Structure 1
């Protein structure tokens, strides 16, 4: 687009102000990833304490051991995911309707409260309820934080900055592993799980005030609200001036017009995220089934009651084994950040899906099964596990990062958080389906066939990326979204 009023923002060099906005936007995603890993640690701590050390945690053990254990385990594991879907849709809508500024900080307060309250829960239903509040806040964080970062970013570094917001997930995974393992090793189980639940709230709590102080983005102020002075004031935070002196608005369009113009794009951003989260959360659910034949279980077989120190040591080892794939994936986030504005979003997403399909297919072909269980591999098990773990690297250096970045760039300013919210909710729907159905699939068809299924899904993700996802690299947001502005009102510079 010629005569873009945001040319001065788009052409800025990367500055400390961009980094400050990144920190403010990124801490919610720390909690998101921390939560993904820590809930499996919490479940393992409570269940294994009873199973191997005879330690009963009143208000919790009776729900997770016994006739209704499958229901309660599934509910606890997935409760935050279901409410995240609602948060993504609602905050996505409100971010466009009321503005990014009016709702920013509310989601961080919700997830902070939910995480802290989870640590103080008196029984399992209370823990589920508090995690639902936290999930709602996590969901709200997706469309608002990504959009605020993209609308403040310069063109040259926009992909890198939005990807960096998301890369806090990688940091959250590492911290969850460290907190979980150290807590399991040093604290009794009834205290350990509470420490695990509460610590994830701290980073989000540090940015509530900062988020409330972030001004409305220059793009929303000018193009939606028509407030020239507000837009100029926001631009000054970045140390630049907007070249505009009259209200310039983005054209309103009906739902049918939106679907006609952006419907195929929505299939691209929502469909690929849906497929990605089936793989990302699915591998999290059945990772232990691949790990078990490699490392074995440190817990003794048979009816042996361990002393507390022995149980703590074995539990810490189990938790570490479960974290290994996440640790392998960690550099993938920052590889994506480094290359986002060089290779482009589309290439990174395509190669990620292709490599995931290859890795899942290779590991499935190498697996030796007895019934539905993997008993070993035709190559040394540790090599097979290394190949499997690489899928986490290519998930993160691939669609896990790009599906977050692209929707923050490709929709028009009036519908940007809505488009991102719908896309993110599609992903979490895939995650919720996975969390519910993969344990049953694990029992009925086994890991090998699940890996084959994921390989096929990854190929579908690559096809959707190729045909329905555009390349926003080195283009202004207005150009990418084909924004229709009343250009004759823009003061020519």
Structure 2
């Protein structure tokens, strides 16, 4: 095999700096908006259905939950293809779509109009799931790429979910009507997306795309200088003239593995995220807002923060496998103890599931890291789109299957279904997930540049 070298050594060996933090915050806002959007509907689902019609376990509810996920498939595939002609070129369109669709959803007059607006919200979110991780990943240094992406996407999603709960609780505390509450809660979701529309257009194109895809080494060198806070005279990286199809064929096995991992992770994660506040909370005698707030603040946030510190030391493979395994055992405890152990103990067991699921899959494959690290620059946005689509397929499946399982077979059977998925995910993570900690993107993807001379000259 040809020698694989690192054409962006100066970027990968740079220290964590202001540029990296800024890029993380700007890219993470889209995922925060997605976390807000999906969680807000889950929290206020009962009052939406009271206002517009339907039942929690009905088919319209499944469509309402699945609509943004279906839109994400469209958005990810479309912008995955477009992103191959420029990451920055289409950046900002994603959050603009999310902003407009969110505002329209807040003025819905019937359930199907709401479903349609949620679908278009999903198109923007799907675009963001491709563009944001690709851009952040290509800007990161090797040592901190895991923690930056885990914080930017895994932690940001949870922060968005908490924001949604707080808005809903604030509306209730102010004594607003149920209808006004759900409309305001949905509408406020436009704020985080709208806040970064301008900033995203100002974020520079990635040097990897500029040099390897466009052959613009001069501009790439200028961006590297900004990333690393040093003067750069010349970046000696050859343009890649291979076809995208060549890389998709070469990386086919890795793409299938990453897609399967995200598919399984979303089945387990979205089952409880979409229906926990309405179905599981009811069994515990808690309101949807209290259940969601307590779960995220006490368990999801601490685990997301812990993941930021572990992902570049323990590694992606071990962190995800350990998280999925312990999440499965926590659900066993939740299911077997039942209400006989008391509401507090049962809630703690469910919280433990949320903690470990977010620590592992939620901070690794669901944070969009894997698709970025397995793909060559020329095909990276398309590979990311494929893995995102696989994850959304798992989430869509759970949107339709989980409420039916709950309705016809009860909570215990539903939990054992998720337990089985989590243990399959544990084994799959050990066997299929490549370890990428502290490795350059080029090394992870075995992207051969065919260049042996010093790659960068500094003034």
Provide the TM-score with structure 2 as the length reference: 0.92
Compute the displacement of 1:401 (Å): 1.5
Separation (CA, whole Å) in 1 of partners of 2:57 and 2:253: 42
Q: Is the 8 A contact 2:95 2:128 kept in 1?
A: yes
Matched with 1:162 is 149
How is 1:226-375 mapped onto 2 (pairs within 5 angstroms)? 226-238=215-227, 239-241=229-231, 244-246=234-236, 248-250=238-240, 252-253=242-243, 255=245, 258-259=248-249, 261-287=250-276, 288-295=278-285, 317-327=287-297, 328-367=299-338
Q: Given that residues 143 and 408 in structure 1 are in contact (C-alpha distance below 8 angstroms), is that contact kept between their aligned partners in structure 2?
A: no
Q: Does 1:468 align with 2:427?
A: no
**Shift in alpha-carbon separation, 1:117–1:172, aligned structure 2, 3 A:** same
Moved more, 113-122 or 341-350: 113-122
- Cα offset for 1:446? 1.6
Report the CA distance shift for 1:220/1:257 in structure 2 as closer, same or farther (over 3 A): closer
How do residues 211-226 of structure 1 correspond to structure 2 at under 5 angstroms? 211-226=200-215
Q: Could you tell me which runs of 5 or more consecutive residues in structure 2 were left unpaired when the two chains were aligned.
A: none
1:37-87 C-alpha deviation (Å, 9 max, x unpaired): 111233222345xxxxxxxx5xx3xx437xx99333222222111101111
Report what 1:437 is aligned to: 401
Tell me how large the CA RMSD over aligned residues is: 2.2
Deviations 1:129-164 (A, max 9, x none): 222111100111011101111111111111111111
Q: Describe the shift of the 1:3–1:365 C-alpha distance in structure 2 as closer, same or farther (beyond 3 A).
A: closer
Q: In the TM superposition, what whole-angstrom CA distance separates every residue of 1:253-311 from its partner, at most 9, and x where no partner exists?
A: 5636633x322212321111111111111123443444334336xxxxxxxxxxxxxxx
Counterpart-to-counterpart distance in 1, 2:144 and 2:437:
9
Of 90, 98, 111, the match for 1:124: 111
- Contact kept, 8 Å, 1:350 with 1:465, in 2: the verdict is yes
Aligned counterparts of 2:193 and 2:165: Cα–Cα separation in 1: 18
Query: How far has the Cα of 1:30 moved from its partner?
Result: 0.8
**How many pairs are equivalent?**
448
- After TM superposition, give the deviation of residue 397 of structure 1 in Å: 0.7
Deviation per residue, 1:393-420 (Å, 9 max, x gap): 1111111110022222221101111111
* 3-state SS of paired residue (2:225): helix
* Residue 110 of structure 1: how far off its partner (Å): 0.5
Taking the aligned partners of 1:340 and 1:281, their CA distance within structure 2 comes to 22
Aligned to 1:396: 358
Shift of 1:441: 1.1
Distance 1:35 1:175 in 2: 10
Matched, 1:64 2:54: yes
User: Shift of the alpha carbon at 1:12?
Assistant: 1.1
The question of whether the paired residues in 1 share the 8 Å contact of 2:324 and 2:357 is answered with yes
Q: In the alignment, which residue of structure 2 is the partner of 1:33?
A: 35
TM-score by length of 1: 0.86
The partner residue of 2:199 within 210, 220, 228 is 210
- Of 145, 150, 159 in structure 1, the residue corresponding to residue 132 of structure 2 is 145
Kindly name which structure, 1 or 2, has the bigger radius of gyration based on alpha carbons. 1
Shift of 1:486: 2.8
Runs of 4+ displaced beyond 6 Å: none
Q: Deviations over 1:220-263 (max 9, x none)?
A: 0001111111101211222235574555123525636633x322
